């Protein structure tokens, strides 16, 4: 039963597009419904707040572990840094056909682009190698490092 709960189901309209709005990741969890119901009905704000924070960290850390494990997610994620935000914008505009649904600009990071390569996307892999974003062996030059909650401020 624990093995079944470790499976994250991926649903997408377009293959290989990690950052597409139609790409969804579904992970099932067992929760104690009576605890949640009790916390809401008894207005135990500290317990509820603590539960929410623990749950948020658990979801975030487990998803981060999944998405950065290429054997499970099938994605390699790298960072591409730019000198200016205008350079980033120009790069995305010039390569929109390749990058659509496969890149993401993190919040408050106007000179950084995250790019996701699916292990079966041969054409995009060739593009990333030609751009120097991935090396000839298919590994990211600047691999994205997911920061787990305990490392956050």
The pLDDT tens digits of the residues spanning 28-57 come to 667 777 877 776 777 666 667 787 888 888
pTM: 0.75
The residue ranges of DSSP E strands in the chain, in sequence order, are: 8-11, 24-27, 75-81, 103-104, 112-118
Residue 150: pLDDT band with limits 50, 70, 90: low
* Boundaries of every domain in the chain: 1-153
Rounded to the nearest angstrom, the gap between the alpha carbon of residue 45 and the centroid of all alpha carbons in its chain is: 31
CA atoms within 13 A on the CB side of 52: 8
Residue 25: pLDDT band with limits 50, 70, 90: low
Close Cβ partners of 86 (under 8 Å, ≥ 6 residues apart): none
Closest C-alpha among 87, 108, 84, 127 to residue 116 = 127
Residue 1 has pLDDT above 50, yes or no: no
Range with lowest mean pLDDT among 3-7, 80-84, 128-132, 142-146: 3-7
Tell me the pairing of strands 112-118 and 24-27.
unpaired
Q: What average pLDDT does the segment 138-142 reach?
A: 89
């Amino acid at each position: 039963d624990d093995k079944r709960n470790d499976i994250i189901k991926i649903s997408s309209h377009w293959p290989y597009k990690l950052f597409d709005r139609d790409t969804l990741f579904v992970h099932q969890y067992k929760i104690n419904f009576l605890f949640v119901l009790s916390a809401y009905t008894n207005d135990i704000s500290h317990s509820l707040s603590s539960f929410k924070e623990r749950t948020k960290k658990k979801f975030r850390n487990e998803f981060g572990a999944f998405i950065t494990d290429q054997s499970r997610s099938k994605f390699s994620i790298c960072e591409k840094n730019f000198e200016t935000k205008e350079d980033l914008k120009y790069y995305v505009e010039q390569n929109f056909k390749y990058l659509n649904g496969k890149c993401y600009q993190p919040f408050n990071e106007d000179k950084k682009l995250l790019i996701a390569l699916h292990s079966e996307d041969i054409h995009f892999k060739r593009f990333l190698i030609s751009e120097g974003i991935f090396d000839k062996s298919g590994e990211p030059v600047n691999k994205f490092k997911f920061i787990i909650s305990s490392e956050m401020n």
